């Protein structure tokens, strides 16, 4: 595999017994969206979703799309290593960004509480190694780089990237709604906000062609394309209203 990505959500984690439904919907949306870009395996695991991709060259396009997927809080590429403190330290060092005179922090989570080292001990060991090898300065309040470590029973995930997503709920977990797209700013903002709550949109634009130019239709199409960036395809209906307006 060329690279792996850890996708994190926040609000979905509060859904109790319905959580698998929200996770499954988010996984399905991610698979649908990335299918045209790269061959990606998507699987949920312990409060996060792991993506395994085949092509390193397509990461910029995948990154751009994932940053628009509703339900994603943040994501980033990761590296695997054995659940061993020395291996974790070495992986953190080898995958660190190529920067000088920067600040950093280390955040560690033990999914397997039987791991012999506490989370704070992992942070101290990794932080000490980074400070000595790279001469970076620790900044726990506002670091420029954050090393995230998740330790399972047999392996650990180490990552330095944290790309923000739009948050909210995955598209499709709520009911369907009709979103009127007028061509101004109010309607697409309203559509985006309701889509972020998981509602499936059906877009509708009322136009006056042939009594007016087609510019409003083109604007509506452009707005819908922007709204659906990173989302599954949804329909747009262009509804002629000119004749009715003329009669009125």
Tell which residue, 202, 248, 196, has the closest CA to residue 224: 202
Cα torsion for 159, 164, 165, 168, to the nearest 10°?
110
Report pLDDT for 124.
95
Helix (H, G, I), strand (E, B) or coil at 169: coil
- What backbone phi and psi angles, to 5 degrees, belong to 116? -65, -15
Residue with tokens 């990794």, as numbered in its chain: 126
Averaged pLDDT, groups of 10, the chain, 248 residues long? 81 80 90 78 84 78 90 92 93 90 92 91 94 91 92 91 92 92 90 94 89 85 92 90 83
DSSP, residue by residue, 119-152? HHHHHHHHHHHHHHHH-PEE-SSS-SEEEEEEE-
Element (H, E) at 156: strand 155-159
Tokens representing 172 are: 């499709």
């Amino acid at each position: 595999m060329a690279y792996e990505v850890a996708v994190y959500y926040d609000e979905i984690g509060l859904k109790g017994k319905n959580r698998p439904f929200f996770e499954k919907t988010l996984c399905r949306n991610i698979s649908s969206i990335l299918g045209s870009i790269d061959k990606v395996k998507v699987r949920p695991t312990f409060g996060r979703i792991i993506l395994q991709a085949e092509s390193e060259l397509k990461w910029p396009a995948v990154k751009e799309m994932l940053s628009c997927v509703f339900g994603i809080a943040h994501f980033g590429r990761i590296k695997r290593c054995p659940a061993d403190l020395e291996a974790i330290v070495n992986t953190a060092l080898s995958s660190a960004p190529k920067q000088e005179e920067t600040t950093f922090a280390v955040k560690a989570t033990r999914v397997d509480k039987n791991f012999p080292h506490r989370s704070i001990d992992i942070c101290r060991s990794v932080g000490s190694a980074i400070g000595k090898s790279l001469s970076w300065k620790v900044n726990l309040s506002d670091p420029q780089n954050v090393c995230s470590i998740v330790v399972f029973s047999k392996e650990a995930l180490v990552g330095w990237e944290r790309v923000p997503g739009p948050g909210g709920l995955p598209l499709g977990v709520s009911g369907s709604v009709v979103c009127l797209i007028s061509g101004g700013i109010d309607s697409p903002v309203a559509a985006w906000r309701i889509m972020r709550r998981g509602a499936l949109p059906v877009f509708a634009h009322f136009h006056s062609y042939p009594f007016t130019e087609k510019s409003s239709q083109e604007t509506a199409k452009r707005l819908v394309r922007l709204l659906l960036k990173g989302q599954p395809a949804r329909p747009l209906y262009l509804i002629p209203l000119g004749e009715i307006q003329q009669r009125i």
